[in-house]
């Protein structure tokens, strides 16, 4: 890494080392063995960043009724991984499969958006087609290129905590900064487009561009989260915490915040449990997230029951 990116890269690298020192010291002090491994420090960091990014984007997606788009993009990202592995083995290059996954994922994101603009509707069918195409392409490329390749594919399908390198952790920090900035700056526009597309157009917001930005960011998050969650489960982080937060929150801001909190809980508990029981991290995180979602639904029901009990009195006072 040289030039313009060299300085921030070194800065993040330094921060990553401090983070590692901190967790290591805490682990030492409290006698938590899990916290004494470098790969676990990176896993926790990456997991916590994903738990902010995924619900941040997911909240807008879910309320645009685009919950499935994460799945579609994850499967095309898998095709991207396969393309990367294929190119590497044929040409003998050393391109990171995550890089090709980002490129293919972004292209697929734009394709979904363009298809829906041309055919005038978001529909499950077009997303299902993109999803299956991605997975089919990935599996074909991998089978052509069989042998040692099939073994390497597992970590992309199911994710792997121990393969999170310092480099990919630093990339994720960069991704985190980009996504937080974009959502922070365009929050109002994204909210308007999500809530009322026609009124947003009347208000002069370029709806198409914000839709495109949204799907591109989704592709980035999906690829970023893929290394821990795996292709098959990555979309859950976009949807499940958001669904839980929707049950509890009243305002949109509350919903955003709550979805991040729920996702953080799921990630921290999930990674810990997966370490304890030697289970796959992605699956454990999703199961914990679903458990949290069920609790949120129950709490939400309780809340609304209490609200309806209060209501008659309030109406009488009006």
Partner 1 sequence: MTATQTLIELEDVTFGYTASSVLTDISLDVESGEYVGIIGPNGSGKSTLMQLMLGLHTPDSGTVRLFGQSPRAFVERERVGYVAQDVTENTKEMPITVFEVVLMGRFPHAGFGRLTEADRDHAREALRTVGIEHLADRRITKLSGGQRQRAYIARALAGEADLLVLDEPTVGVDAESVEAFFDLLDGLNDDGMTVLLVEHDIGAVLEHADRVVCLNRQLYFDGPPERFVETDALDKAYGTNIRRGEEVTLA
Question: Contact, 150 vs 142, CB < 8 A?
Answer: yes
The correct pick among 39, 63, 89, 268 for binding partner 1 (CB under 8 A) is: 63
Question: Contact, 157 vs 78, CB < 8 A?
Answer: yes
- The answer to whether residue 211 forms part of the interface with partner 1 (CB under 8 A) is no
Question: Contact, 77 vs 222, CB < 8 A?
Answer: yes
Helix (H) or strand (E) holding 57: helix 38-63
Nearest residue to 101 (alpha-carbon basis) of 47, 160, 157, 169: 157
Nearest residue to 74 (alpha-carbon basis) of 234, 190, 209, 220: 234
CB 198 → partner 1: shortest distance, Å?
Answer: 6
Q: Which of residues 76 and 186 has its CB atom nearest to partner 1 in the complex?
A: 186
174 contacts: CB under 8 Å, gap ≥ 6: 8, 12
Q: Which of residues 110 and 191 has its CB atom nearest to partner 1 in the complex?
A: 191
Sort 127 into a burial class: Cβ within 10 Å, 0-12 / 13-18 / 19+.
buried
The correct pick among 125, 128, 144, 253 for binding partner 1 (CB under 8 A) is: 253
CB 239 → partner 1: shortest distance, Å?
Answer: 15
The correct pick among 43, 172, 255, 271 for binding partner 1 (CB under 8 A) is: 255
- The answer to whether residue 212 forms part of the interface with partner 1 (CB under 8 A) is no
Q: Which of residues 123 and 162 has its CB atom nearest to partner 1 in the complex?
A: 123
CB 162 → partner 1: shortest distance, Å?
Answer: 38
- The answer to whether residue 209 forms part of the interface with partner 1 (CB under 8 A) is no
Q: Which of residues 14 and 195 has its CB atom nearest to partner 1 in the complex?
A: 195
Sort 268 into a burial class: Cβ within 10 Å, 0-12 / 13-18 / 19+.
middle
Footprint of partner 1 on 168-207 (CB under 8 A): 185-186, 188-189, 191-192, 194-196, 198-199, 201-205
* DSSP letters for 249-267: -SSHHHHHHHHHHHHHHHH
Window 136-175: contact mask with partner 1 (x via CB under 8 A): ----------------------------------------
Tell me the C-alpha distance between 71 and 109, whole Å: 11
Q: Which of residues 247 and 272 has its CB atom nearest to partner 1 in the complex?
A: 247
Nearest residue to 18 (alpha-carbon basis) of 240, 278, 26: 26
Q: Which of residues 37 and 187 has its CB atom nearest to partner 1 in the complex?
A: 187
Tell me the C-alpha distance between 185 and 73, whole Å: 24
- The answer to whether residue 299 forms part of the interface with partner 1 (CB under 8 A) is no
CB 18 → partner 1: shortest distance, Å?
Answer: 31
CB 244 → partner 1: shortest distance, Å?
Answer: 11
CB 183 → partner 1: shortest distance, Å?
Answer: 12
136 contacts: CB under 8 Å, gap ≥ 6: none
Give the count of residues interacting with partner 1 (CB under 8 A).
28
Applying CB under 8 A, the residues found at the interface with partner 1 are 63, 65, 185-186, 188-189, 191-192, 194-196, 198-199, 201-205, 245-246, 249-255, 318
């Amino acid at each position: 890494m040289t030039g313009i990116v060299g300085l921030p890269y070194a800065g993040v690298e330094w921060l990553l080392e401090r983070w590692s020192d901190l967790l290591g010291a805490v682990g030492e002090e409290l006698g938590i063995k899990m916290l004494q491994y470098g790969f676990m420090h990176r896993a926790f960091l990456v997991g916590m960043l994903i738990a902010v990014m995924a619900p941040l984007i997911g909240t807008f997606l879910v309320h645009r009724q685009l919950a499935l788009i994460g799945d579609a993009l994850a499967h095309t990202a898998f095709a991207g991984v396969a393309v990367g592995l294929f190119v590497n083995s044929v040409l003998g290059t050393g391109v990171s499969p995550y890089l090709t996954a980002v490129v293919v994922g972004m292209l697929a994101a734009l394709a979904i958006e363009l298809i829906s603009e041309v055919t005038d509707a978001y529909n499950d069918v077009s997303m299902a087609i993109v999803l299956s195409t991605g997975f089919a392409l990935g599996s074909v490329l991998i089978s052509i290129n069989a042998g040692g390749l099939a073994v390497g594919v597992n970590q992309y399908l199911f994710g792997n905590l121990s393969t999170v390198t310092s480099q990919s952790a630093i990339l994720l920090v960069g991704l985190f900064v980009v996504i937080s900035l974009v959502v922070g700056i365009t929050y109002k526009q994204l909210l308007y487009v999500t809530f009322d597309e026609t009124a947003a157009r009347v208000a002069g917001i370029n709806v198409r561009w914000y839709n495109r930005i949204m799907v591109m960011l989704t592709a980035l998050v999906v690829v970023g989260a893929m290394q821990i969650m795996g292709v098959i489960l990555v979309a859950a982080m976009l949807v499940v915490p958001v669904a839980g937060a929707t049950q509890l929150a009243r305002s949109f801001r509350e919903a955003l915040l709550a979805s991040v909190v729920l996702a953080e809980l799921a990630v921290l508990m999930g990674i810990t449990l997966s370490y304890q029981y030697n289970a796959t991290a992605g699956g454990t995180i999703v199961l914990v997230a679903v458990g949290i979602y069920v609790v949120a639904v129950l709490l939400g029901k309780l809340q609304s029951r209490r609200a309806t009990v209060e209501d008659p009195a309030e109406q009488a006072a009006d």
